[in-house]
Structure 1
Amino acid sequence: MTICELLAALNGATVAGGCDTCDAEQTFQKRGRITLATVHHDNDCPTLKRSQARR
């Protein structure tokens, strides 16, 4: 399976993981030739809080 085939198979999927410090989930969405992976952190995730503090 190529990476393109793998990403096509993941389109619309929700997968556990994506963060070492919380029980995050990732969603995959294909938009044209690009596949977006979005990490959904827990509200109390320290990694998410650090990332938001930098903005």
Structure 2
Amino acid sequence: MFTAFSIMGCSLELLKTCAQGIVTVCKTQDEIIRKKLISMRIKTGTQVLI
């Protein structure tokens, strides 16, 4: 039986295909990346499926 678990402080780059996570913080000074995330409606609290 699978038991749910959480990982805190993990980069989205570390998620494997079909894994999901919740954005808790975005640490980028790159304005282009920030605007891309906003255009994709990705912000703190957003659940993502990779």
Q: Based on CA coordinates, which of the two structures has the bigger radius of gyration?
A: 1
Coarse TM-score class (shorter-chain normalised): 0.3 to 0.5
Q: TM-score, normalised by structure 2?
A: 0.32
Q: TM-score, normalised by structure 1?
A: 0.31
Task: Select the structure that is richer in strand.
Answer: 1
Q: Which has the higher contact order (CA 8 A, sep 6+)?
A: 2
Task: Select the structure that is richer in helix.
Answer: 1
